[in-house]
Chain A
Amino acid sequence: MPGQEQQRPSRREDEVEDAAAVPAQAKATETDADVDALLDEIDEVLESNSEEFVRGFVQKGGQ
């Protein structure tokens, strides 16, 4: 994907374990294909340099 700065490490078992701390029914409501299609679309609009985008989002003041 152009512009994505980070590599995609292969899936690690221990991370899958971590994810289980959150209820693991993520896939119960939708098929994997639906989720993938959604993520692909989000990929297209996600700011290309996430690191810089997140670092540059600084707010001051506020109630």
Chain B
Amino acid sequence: MTVRRVVGLETEYGISVPGDPGANPMLLSAQVVNAYATATTGGRSRPRWDYEDEAPLRDARGFEVERARAHPSQLTDAPGRAAGEGRRAAPNASDVVSAETEDPTMANVILTNGARFYVDHAHPEYSSPEVLTPRDAVTWDRAGELILLESLRRVAATPGLTPVTIYKNNTDGKGASYGTHENYLMNRSTPFGDVVRHLTPFFVSRQVFAGAGRVGLGQDSREAGFQISQRADFFEVEVGLETTMKRPIINTRDEPHATVEKYRRLHVIVGDATMCEVATLLKVGTTSLVLAMLESGWLEDSPAGRLLLSEPVRALHEVSHDPSLRHLVRLRDGRRLSAVQLQWAYLEAARAYVADRYGDDVDADTAEVLTRWEQVLTRLETDVFSAAREVDWVAKLRLLEGYRSRDGLDWDNARLAAVDLQWSDVRPEKGLYLKLAERDQVERLVPEAAVRHAVDHPPTDTRAYFRGECLARYGPRVAAASWDSVIFDVAGRGALQRVPTLEPLRGTREHVGALLDRCETAEELVAALTG
């Protein structure tokens, strides 16, 4: 299905208290999430997260890690961070209500736009609703930035709370990294070995347009300099289940939040959080196209299918460390190609694939991704800085080089590191990307009004519509929800009523819009759904 695919983007935001590096990040993050939730729900009790279908230890290679052997940080299915807590079977009201009140840091809200906004480890995390197009991915990802901004403002305006600053980046430059994860639903029938084989070279090279740029080389920035990606240095293995240590280029978490027999969720942890809308569009759109080619077997007979890297982890680091884009990575067949050349191969395969399957009947979203993919590769190849309107690392580097040449600064100068951090500050009066955007120095794809609308409203063409609309219309009667369920607590029924939403393409406005309009109350809706 070309670039149309069920996708969600998760972003862990950096959080800081100016002047107090020792502040408790979990409490601060909870404060941020709760401030937003209280402002939007007026302080009434909120729906809880339903952990029933979570399975973070299931591995795409066909096994499940034993709970006792897992690192506590992997147990994202347990409310609270207690490692021993089991999964709940049939939820009842007291179960759901007590699950998170025990621990004040377990702030967890489900928003009317279908997103989940919660504390993940030590960061406020925004997990976007499921969307179908790269443009919608950009829209609801940017809505997340506005939600974090609003949270920050609420915290600052509340007496007794510690004001914080918030950043859409991926490292503190001192050895810590936090993730931006992409989630793509794909056919379960596609062999996972093929996913690993074809996506590894793609991910290693994708950073040339999807990298956010970073001052400092090495996980703890021990060497001065600039690199393309925020995250690259934190990847140490080719394939694996973990996301907080021994980070793998291909993550194997197999937790589809959807019909297991039909779907696999590809959990991509190797990307950067990007502010540039074109970069985000391309990150999602090109990956979706490669997945379409993978599912159809197209890559098997394509030159792009023969791009096997001899040392992928090393190549990932080396590509990131070379903003000149001249570095050549070694392929298993002895060839040496640049990251841009690798990307050209995938683009050519995608063009041929789309032409073969759709001819002139290609949808606008797919056509846009193909066109922009070609434009950005052409720009990177001819004059890197000509991509400054589209690519974060290029725009950031342009600023940094401006400073360096104006003020004669070495790469270890703190002002350059400050520019790097402030690039992704979510406050328009402080964020350097937002300053560039205000000056029309970067290309915008989505009208601001659409982004603001997406703060409160779900996409209409996935199950996020059902989730978000249920919260908006029947919020006080929704006891819990998750990606694949909405649980109602309605009058006249002893037990909670769980509505599974395992099919991401149902629960759309087309599918349930009339039903929701017909049901004034949650009681009516539950009655209609249960017959």
Contact = CB atoms under 8 A, between A and B. Distances in A.
Nearest to A47: B418
A21 B324 contact: yes
Contacts of A61: 25, 73, 121-123, 176, 178, 244
B383 A59 contact: no
B417 A38 contact: no
B123 A59 contact: yes
Contact of B415 (A12, A36, A46): A46
A38 B172 contact: no
Contact of A35 (B15, B402, B407): B402
Nearest to B379: A29
A22 B401 contact: yes
Nearest to B269: A63
Interface stretch (B311-319, B365-373, B428-436): B428-436
A6 B417 CA distance: 14
A62 B122 contact: yes
Given A11-B405, A61-B176, A62-B178, A56 B417 contact: no
A62 B247 CA distance: 11
- Which of B178, B407, B413 has the largest number of chain A CB atoms within 10 A? B407
Contact of A59 (B18, B19, B176): B176
Contacts of B172: 57-59
Contact of B179 (A10, A36, A45, A62): A62
A24 B22 CA distance: 41
Interface in A40-59: 41-42, 45-47, 50-59
Interface in B392-433: 397-399, 401-408, 410, 413-415, 417-419, 421-422, 429-430, 432
Contact of A54 (B73, B402, B408, B414): B414
B285 interface: no
Contacts, number: 156
Interface in A14-36: 15-16, 19, 21-23, 25-26, 28-29, 35-36
Contacts of A41: 435, 439
A54 B405 contact: no
B181 interface: yes
B495 to A, nearest CB: 35
Contact of A63 (B14, B16, B121, B417): B121
A41 B422 CA distance: 13
A23 B20 CA distance: 39
Contacts of A12: 408
A42 B415 CA distance: 11
Contact of B414 (A28, A42, A50): A50
Contacts of A26: 385, 398, 401-402, 405
B122 A60 contact: yes
B130 interface: no
A6 B415 contact: yes
Nearest to B380: A23
A4 to B, nearest CB: 8
A29 B399 CA distance: 13
Does more than half of chain B's interface fall in helix, strand or loop, or is it mixed?
Answer: mixed
Nearest to B267: A63
Nearest to B427: A45
Interface string B210-252: 0000000000000000100000000000000001100000000
Contacts of B226: 22
A45 B419 CA distance: 10
A6 B178 CA distance: 30
Given A23-B324, A41-B439, A45-B430, A10 B408 contact: yes
B16 A62 contact: no
Contacts of B476: none
A62 B269 CA distance: 11
A63 B173 contact: no
Nearest to A15: B408
Contacts of A39: 399, 402-403, 406
Contact of B384 (A23, A52, A56): A23
A9 interface: yes
Contacts of B244: 61-63
Interface string B36-73: 00000000000000000000000000000000000001
A19 B176 contact: no
B419 A59 contact: no
Given A15-B404, A59-B178, A23 B385 contact: yes
Given A39-B402, A63-B179, 11 more contacts: A22-B226, A22-B397, A39-B399, A42-B432, A45-B429, A46-B422, A50-B418, A54-B173, A57-B421, A59-B25, A59-B174
